[in-house]
Amino acid sequence: MPRHVACVMDGNGRWAQRRSLPRTAGHRAAETTVIDIIEAARTAGVQWLSLYAFSTENWSRPGTEVDYLMRLVRRVVRKHAPLLLARGIRCRFLGATDPRIPRELAQDFDDLATLTAGNQGMTLTVAFDHGGRRDIVEAARSLIRTGTPADEVTERLFADHLPFPDTPDVDLVIRTSGEQRISNFMLWQVAYAEWVFPEVLWPDFRAPDFLACLHTYRRRDRRFGGVPPRTNGDTS
C-alpha cells in the first residue's frame, strides 16, 4: 500500500464540454469525486492523500471561472468540514498565500486546519494556489536567510525548509483524463513517485478507479535507481 498518494484532478473542463455545459459545471461535478476518493483512500489505509486543486498558473484563467472556483471551494470546505472531522482526517492547505484569495476563503482554510489539527487519521493536503517551483525557491530563500553555508546544504536540510517538512515523499501520483504532465506539482516530493494516468475524467473518477490505481502501483517494481537484489552485481 502506498503511504502517500497524490492526485492531479484533471478533466473537469473537458467533462463539461462533452456535455455542452459551461466549464463551471465540470468543477461542480468534481465535488462528488473528491469526497469519494477521500473516503476510498482512508478506507484503503492510505496515510497521506494530496489533491491538486488550484495551481499558481490557474490564476491566468478567465476571471469568471476563477471567481466561481473560489466560491465553490469555500462551499465545499464549509459543507464537508464536519465529515472530515468525524473521520479523523487532518487537513492542510499547501500554498494559499496569494492575496487574490478571498479573505473569507483563506479564513475557512485556517479554520479547517485548526479544527482537524489534532486528528490522528489520514492527512489530507489540498494544494491550492500551489506551485512546486515556488516552494523550491522559497526553501532556497529560507536557507539563505538563516545564513547556512553552501557546503552544509544537504537534501535533508533543504527538505526541512519546504512547506510541511514532515510530509513524506509521494509514492503514487494519479493524474486523471489521460494527460501525462507534472504541471508544477510537488516537484520535490514526487522525485521517485510512480505515476498512473487513467483515461477517465476526474468528475467520473470513483473509488473502484482509485483502487485499480493502487493495484497497479502494487505491481510496480520500485528500484529507486538501483536494481532488484537478486540481480545486484550480476553482469550476465
Q: Is 23 annotated as a binding residue?
A: yes
Instruction: Read off the amino acid at residue 57.
Output: E
Q: Is 48 annotated as a binding residue?
A: no
Q: Is 55 annotated as a binding residue?
A: yes
Out of 10, 135, 171, 209, which one is annotated catalytic? 10
Q: Which three cell numbers stand for residue 32?
A: 462528488
Q: Is 232 a catalytic residue?
A: no
Q: Is 194 annotated as a binding residue?
A: yes
Q: Is 202 annotated as a binding residue?
A: no
115-131: b (≥16 Cβ within 10 Å) or e: ebeebeebbbbbbbbbb
Q: Is 10 a catalytic residue?
A: yes
Q: Is 12 annotated as a binding residue?
A: yes
How far CA 14 is from CA of 27, 143, 177, 198, in Å, comes to 10, 41, 9, 15
Out of 36, 58, 169, 184, which one is annotated catalytic? 58
> What's the CA gap between 218 and 44, in Å, rounded?
13
Q: Is 61 annotated as a binding residue?
A: yes
Q: Which residues contact 81 (CB under 8 A, 6 or more apart)?
A: 111, 112, 115
Where is the binding site for substrate, in residues? 11-15, 23, 27, 55-57, 59, 61, 175, 181-183
Please list the active-site residues.
Answer: 10, 58
Where is the binding site, in residues? 10-15, 23, 27, 55-57, 59, 61, 175, 181-183, 194
Where is the binding site for Mg(2+), in residues? 10, 194
